[in-house]
Amino acid sequence: MTTVDLATRGPSTRSHDADAESGQNMARLLRPFASRFAVVVILQVVGAVAGLAPLLAVVELGRTLLTPGPVDHRHVWFVVIAGAVGLFVRLLFTAASSGIGHIVDGQVQLTFRRALAAQLGRVPIGWFSRRRTGELAKVVGEDVSAVHPFIAHAPGELVSAFVVPLVSLIYLLSINWQLTLITLIPVLTALLLVPLLMLPARLREQEEYDAAMGNIASSVVEFVQGISVVKAFGGSERAHRRFLTAADAFVSIFSRWVRGMSAVAAGMQLALSPPFVLLVVLLGGTSMITGGGLAPADLLPFLLLGLGLTAPVAALGHGFDDMQAARRAVGRIKDVLDVRSLPEPERPVAPKGHRVELRDVRFGYDDGHEVLRGVDLVLEPGTVTAIVGPSGSGKSTLVQLLPRFFDPTHGSVVLGGADLRQISSRELYRMVSFVFQDVRLLRASIADNIALAVPQAEHEDVVRAARLANIHDRILELPHGYETVIGEDAELSGGEAQRISIARALLADAPILVLDEATAFADPQTEQAVREALATLGGDRTILVIAHRLETVADADTVVVLDNGSIVERGKPTELLARGGAFAEFWQSHRSAIADEIETQDGALQGDEHR
């Protein structure tokens, strides 16, 4: 990284207020480590100052040896020893500073990751559905790692950038102030170019660069996670498209960014380059020597320390870049840490039974846009309620309110006579099981995945749940049966993973079961087995299910039709069919779709027979 990076990741890309807020975020999160930072900086200051001793020793030797007359050997040896001691002190203190800095860096990263892990365990589950996997992966991974250069390396670079030039300037001024000003010409030239790298256009390009990097990270994670599914269905070309689009956008933004700053950055590099500095000092020093204003021996310290003035300025670019990158990363970390968890009740209320009521429920993810509009619904124990409706009607949002993934913005969800907000999360999760459409299994054994909610479950109970979910026979085919580790010993298809998830919910044996399109990837035989399992375990269990298949709807006690966030119909399937309304249209459209699919399959079979 070069001085160019002073611009590439320059100051905050949004506003001075955002800049100040980011700085406050960093100070707040790093405050517990302030004393250890102070030790690192003090050690680095001593090491930086001691590092000048060898240069000053060379200067003093040159002036001593070039002075007419006999050489004071005792003075020469004193200078040599002083330079060697200074070099030893520099190595000792900078090594100690670096070592402690790396230890502090490890402690900071560990603290951040623990805080993020704890926070992600507290935030509402629904919050995750509004975030892309790649964004969270970047915060926990890349953003936490981004503090490493700032903590482990930046203190040394920043201290050297200020302490070394300051001590050098004081020494050079004591020799000749005119030549000192001439020696500063390259540094001043580079500093005068810095504002050109911080123009609003450059800052906007930096913001676009950060956004493009985030898009690439997200698209890579999502592409890799879903590659097996998209390839199985012949969608690899479409899956590539988003990643390629993100990559093309990044290349375009990066090229525009480089073009905008390349000329100025090149000028800064030229001004701080050793050949240019030596040329300026030699021209200025030679003219002063020929004019009688400078002794020849006094040119030596300017040639040596003049180069030392520019190197710290280049290091300042590195340190400034690290500081800005860390500040932006810490801002994103704090955004996650600041997500409000759903409040726990001070005096929890125990529900009496598991009758569920939604009373005038309204909910919106964003202000001014409601997804649910005044929903009133009662789920009686021992019944199955199926939610149907067009895409975007609010079905998933409705069922996610029951396990309290979100709190309604108006109205209430009541369980056993108690508002969900009055029930402790531990008690709520004991009473409500949720099976997602998009299943995520742990990198653990099949048995551990099924027994996730009941870790103390007997093996016989795990097997019984697997049998009910129609996955037992498939598990026995795996390399180690129930001890097969998912992701290491074997991979499961989408339908098999869903059946593991359903077995997990059945083993939990919660009185309320929510199925969010839980059989979306299941074949008809598996879905039939799951329905039979639910019927067997039914009893007084309250079941709420998002349904797309007619068989699931036909088995329901109550069907609720949602449209645009409101209930437009409800009742028994037969009654709604006879009414000829929205549900009858849903039923007929799905029957037609099934008939078309059968006709297509028959046509394909007949074509095979002719061939």
User: If you average pLDDT over residues 288-300, what whole number do you get?
Assistant: 86
Note the pLDDT of residue 414. 93
Contact 7, 264 (CB under 8 A): yes
What does the buried/exposed string (b/e) look like for 452-465 if buried means 16 or more CB atoms within 10 Å of the residue's CB? beeeebeeebbbbb
Note the pLDDT of residue 14. 39
pLDDT grade, residue 1 (50/70/90)? very low
Q: Does the pLDDT value for residue 608 go beyond 60?
A: no
Q: At what angle do helices 73-122 and 154-175 cross, to 10 degrees?
A: 150
Q: Does the pLDDT value for residue 112 go beyond 90?
A: no
Q: Does the pLDDT value for residue 391 go beyond 90?
A: no
Q: Could you tell me which residue, 595 or 28, shows the higher pLDDT? A: 28
Note the pLDDT of residue 419. 92
pLDDT grade, residue 134 (50/70/90)? low
pLDDT grade, residue 235 (50/70/90)? very low
Q: All domains of the chain, ordered by start, with CATH?
A: 5-337 (1.20.1560.10), 356-583 (3.40.50.300)
The token pair that represents 242 in the structure block = 């988003």
pLDDT in tens, 29-69: 778 888 888 888 889 889 888 888 888 888 888 777 777 77
Q: Could you tell me which residue, 322 or 560, shows the higher pLDDT? A: 560
Highest mean pLDDT pick, 107-111, 232-236, 264-268, 356-360: 356-360
Highest mean pLDDT pick, 161-165, 248-252, 556-560: 556-560
Note the pLDDT of residue 560. 92
The token pair that represents 134 in the structure block = 């790649």
Contact 315, 157 (CB under 8 A): yes
What are the CA-CA distances from residue 171 to residues 89, 289, 322 (Å)?
Answer: 20, 19, 30
pLDDT grade, residue 247 (50/70/90)? confident
- Terminal C-alpha separation, the chain: 66
Note the pLDDT of residue 10. 36
Is the pTM for the entire model greater than 0.75?
no
Instruction: Round to whole Å and give the CA distance between 543 and 432.
Output: 10
